[in-house]
Amino acid sequence: MAQDIYVIGVDYGSDSVRSVLVNALSGEEVASSVFNYPRWSKGLYSDASANRFRQHPLDYIEGLEHTIKDCLQKAGAEVAANVKGISVDTTGSTPVAVDKTGTPLALLPGFEENPNAMFVLWKDHTGVQEAAEINAHATKFEPNYLKYVGGIYSSEWFWAKLLHVLREDEKVREATYSWVEHCDWVPFLLTGGSDVGQMKRGICSAGHKSLYAEEFGGLPANEFFATLDPLLDGFTSRLFTQTYTSDQAAGTLSPEWAERLGLSTEVVVGVGAFDAHMGAVGGQIEPYHLSKVMGTSTCDMLVAPLHEVQDTLVNGICGQVPGSVIPGMMGMEAGQSAFGDTYAWFKRLLLWPLQNLLAGSKVIDAATAEALVNEVSDKIIPELSQAADQIPLSEHNEFAIDWFNGRRTPDANQVLKGAISGLGLGSDAPRMFRALVEATCFGAKKIVDRFNEQGVPVKGLIGLGGVARKSPFIMQMMADVMNMPIRIHKSEQTCAIGAAMFAATAAGIYKKVEDAMAAMGQGFDLEYFPNPEKTELYAKRYRQYTELGGFLEEHSQSAKSAAVSDLPETGSKAQAGETEVDTQRQEELENTSASTTTIS
C-alpha cells in the first residue's frame, strides 16, 4: 500500500449528483464535482400540487459521466490510473419501471416524455391511496409483513409507487417487466448489465422499502400481493430472491463505461444503497448514536449490535434491517419528510414578489432585476436566522407543525399537512421562520423519543450534511430542544465520502467497512451543547406541539374518513379492463387535509 490508491463515491441527491475522488489510504478528498439535473431544474415531469415528483434517467446518466470525468480531469492521469473502486448512493425509495434488459422505460422509444416511465422520486406521494390499501390489507395476513418497517407502509416506498403506476398507465403497465430502485440500477448500468434478473439488489433498499426479510424467505408471498390487486399477481417472480450488503461488489466497469470515463475495466463497482445509510458511514456513525443526515428531508440512522437488539421492534420508523448500514449490525432508519424543504418553502414564499414583479419593473432593467433576485435569495435564510435568533423565547411565540410534506416518522402519514398557529399582527417573517425551525426540531425530538420509549436508547446525536454545517442557529436550537449535545461532522459530503468508503471495502482495500471508516474518516470539528436556560421552556412548548399535532391529525383523519364514506367502492379498474385512474378519490383525500395548512 505504499502507492496511493483512489476510489470514487457518487452521491445522487434530490436536485443534483456529486462525485468525490478520495485517497483510499488517507481519506483525503482529491477532487469533487457537482451536476444539477437539467430537466429537473426546469420543473419537467413533476407537479408539486399533485405531489408528483419524477426524474428522467438521462439526468442521472449525464450527471454520472460528467462528475466522474470532471473529478478525473482535475486530479490528473496518474490518479485516474490508480482508481480501484466506485460506489453509489441515491435517494430512496426512488424506483423505476424497466424492461427485461433492465432499461428504464423512459429510455425507450415512445416513453421519453412519460412521467410514469421515469424514476418516482422519494418524495412523490401519488401512491397515498395504495399505501393505505397495503396497510389495511396487511392486517389480514400472518406473518405481519410490516413488522420490520415500523408497522406502517408509506406512499414514499417501493410497492405503493409500483401499484399506483400500474393502475394509472396502461401503456407503461404493458411494457413493464420489473421495478428497480435507483441505487440498484446505477451499479447495474456501470457494470454493463443486460438482464434484470441478474441485477444485484442491495439489502438496504430491499429491507427498508420492499418488505424483504429473512423471516419471510425473502419478499412476502405472492398471495399477499395477488389478493391486494391482481395487477401484482406473479410480480415478485420478476424481482429478486437474494440481496447483498454494500461492502460487496456488484461487478466491474463494463468496457463501454470504462471507455466513457477513462478508467480501467478492473475498477470494482460496489453494491448500491440509500444516501443516508452510506452518509451515516461517511459521518462515522457509532452504536446507539443517531446520525441525522439533514438536507431537504432528514434521514436518521441508528446502528446497534445484533446480539443486543435481538427481537426488539421499534414501531413507526422506516424499518430495521440487519446489515443495511454496517454489515453485522442492525440498521434502523427514521426521518422527517421535510426539513430543509420547509425552509425552502418559506424562502420561495418571501421571494414571490421579487421573482414575479421585478421582471416587469419600469425602474430597473432585466439584468439588474435578475441580479437583485439572486442576491436576496442568497441572503434570506442567513438573515432570517440572525433575526430569529434575537427573538426572546416565550411560551406564547408563534407555533408551527412541520408536516409540510406529510410525516415520515414516527408513524408515517403522508396525508397530513403543516400548520402555523398563534399568528397576530405582530407576526413577521423572522418570527414565522423561528416557528418553522422549532417545528422541525420538535419533529426530530419525536423520533428520539420513539427510540427511547421502545427499548433502543439514543446515547448521542451526530449532525451530517449542509444544514448541520451551515446553520448554527438551527443546530443550537436542535441541541436545546433535544436537551442533548450534537456533534457535527467535519465533511459536508458525508454521503459521497461514505460511498467512497464502501467502494474501498468492495474493492478489497479494507476487509470491513469499519476499517475504512477509521482510515478515511475526517472526524468532528463542532459540537453544540444545550442551554439550560432554554431547555425547560422548550419542553413546555414541545408538549404544546404534541397537543396541536394530535388535534390536527384527528381532524385530518375525520375528514378523510368522511370523504371515503361519500365515495363509491373502487377496485382495480385495470382488472375490469378500464384504464382511467380514480383521481377523484385521490384528490379528495389530499384536499380534505389541505384545509389545515394555516390556522391562527
pLDDT at 591: 41
**To which residue does cell 448512493 refer?**
89
pLDDT at 592: 37
pLDDT at 574: 40
* Strand partners of residue 26: none
C-alpha count within 13 angstroms, C-beta hemisphere, residue 317: 30
Quick one: cell of 364? 430597473
- State the Cα–Cα distance between residues 208 and 136, nearest whole angstrom: 19
b/e string for 317-344 if b means 16 or more Cβ within 10 A? bbbbbbbbbbbebbbbbbbbbbbbbbbe
* Cis peptide bond N-terminal to 143, omega within 30: yes
CA proximity to 302, closest of 318, 290, 313: 290
- State the Cα–Cα distance between residues 557 and 548, nearest whole angstrom: 14
Of 435 and 356, more confident? 435
DSSP output for 190-250: HTT---GGG--EEHHHHHHHS--BGGGTBSPPHHHHHHH-GGGTTGGGGS-S-EE-TTSEE
Confidence of residue 360 (pLDDT cuts 50, 70, 90): confident
Q: Is the pLDDT of residue 579 over 90?
A: no
Q: How far apart are the first and last CA of the chain?
A: 64
10 Å CB burial of residue 65 (0-12, 13-18, 19+) is middle
Read off the pLDDT of each residue in 248-255 and give the average, rounded to a whole number. Answer: 98
Alpha-carbon distances, residue 43 vs 38, 54, 115, 169, 372 (angstroms): 9, 10, 12, 21, 22
Q: Is the pLDDT of residue 589 over 60?
A: no
Main-chain phi, psi angles of 4, to 5 degrees: -65, 140
pLDDT at 412: 87
* Cis peptide bond N-terminal to 565, omega within 30: no
Read off the pLDDT of each residue in 187-194 and give the average, rounded to a whole number. Answer: 98
Query: What torsion do the CA atoms of 170, 590, 156, 343 make, to the nearest 10 degrees?
Result: 130
pLDDT at 12: 97
- State the Cα–Cα distance between residues 49 and 38, nearest whole angstrom: 21
Cβ contact 474:437 at 8 Å: yes
pLDDT at 296: 86
10 Å CB burial of residue 591 (0-12, 13-18, 19+) is exposed
Residues 6 or more apart in contact with residue 209 via CB below 8 angstroms: 92, 93, 149, 157, 158, 181, 319
Give the β-pairing of 289-294 and 298-305.
antiparallel
10 Å CB burial of residue 154 (0-12, 13-18, 19+) is buried
High-pLDDT (> 70) share of the chain, %: 92
pLDDT at 11: 98
Cβ contact 67:33 at 8 Å: yes
pLDDT at 580: 37
Cα dihedral 418, 422, 425, 429 sign:
negative
Confidence of residue 562 (pLDDT cuts 50, 70, 90): low
- State the Cα–Cα distance between residues 426 and 208, nearest whole angstrom: 45
pLDDT at 561: 57
Cβ contact 19:88 at 8 Å: no
Q: Is the pLDDT of residue 464 over 90?
A: yes
DSSP output for 337-362: S-SHHHHHHHHHHHHHHHHHHGGG-S
Q: Would you list the domain boundaries of the chain?
A: 338-463+529-554
b/e string for 177-188 if b means 16 or more Cβ within 10 A? bbbbbbbbbbbb
Q: Is the pLDDT of residue 550 over 90?
A: yes
For domain 338-463+529-554, give its CATH number from 3.40.50.720, 3.30.530.20, 1.10.357.10, 3.30.420.40.
3.30.420.40
Work out the number of other CB atoms within 10 angstroms of the CB of residue 467.
23
Quick one: cell of 516? 475504512
pLDDT at 559: 57
DSSP assignment, residue 598? -
Give the gyration radius of the chain's Cα atoms. Answer: 24
pLDDT at 560: 57
Instruction: Name, of 188-197, 288-297, 465-474, 569-578, the range with top average pLDDT.
Output: 188-197
Which residue type, as a one-letter code, is found at position 334?
A
Q: Is the pLDDT of residue 379 over 80?
A: yes
Cβ contact 258:434 at 8 Å: no
Confidence of residue 298 (pLDDT cuts 50, 70, 90): very high
List pLDDT tens digits, range 299-334: 999 999 999 998 899 999 999 999 999 999 999 999
pLDDT at 414: 84
Quick one: cell of 164? 399506483
- State the Cα–Cα distance between residues 229 and 234, nearest whole angstrom: 11
Q: Can you give the length of the chain in residues?
A: 600
* Cis peptide bond N-terminal to 410, omega within 30: yes
Cβ contact 397:376 at 8 Å: no
- State the Cα–Cα distance between residues 44 and 165, nearest whole angstrom: 18
List pLDDT tens digits, range 498-534: 999 999 999 999 999 999 999 999 999 999 999 999 9
Mean model confidence pLDDT for the chain = 92
DSSP assignment, residue 325? S
Stretch among 259-268, 552-561, 590-599 having the lowest mean pLDDT: 590-599
Residues 6 or more apart in contact with residue 557 via CB below 8 angstroms: none
Q: Is the pLDDT of residue 573 over 80?
A: no
pLDDT at 416: 93
List pLDDT tens digits, range 135-173: 999 999 999 999 999 999 999 999 999 999 999 999 999
Alpha-carbon distances, residue 433 vs 163, 173, 428 (angstroms): 38, 44, 9
pLDDT at 536: 95
Main-chain phi, psi angles of 24, to 5 degrees: -70, -15
Confidence of residue 50 (pLDDT cuts 50, 70, 90): very high
List pLDDT tens digits, range 386-408: 999 999 999 999 999 999 999 99
- State the Cα–Cα distance between residues 299 and 279, nearest whole angstrom: 9
CA proximity to 244, closest of 332, 321, 149: 321
pLDDT at 596: 34
pLDDT at 569: 46
pLDDT at 594: 37
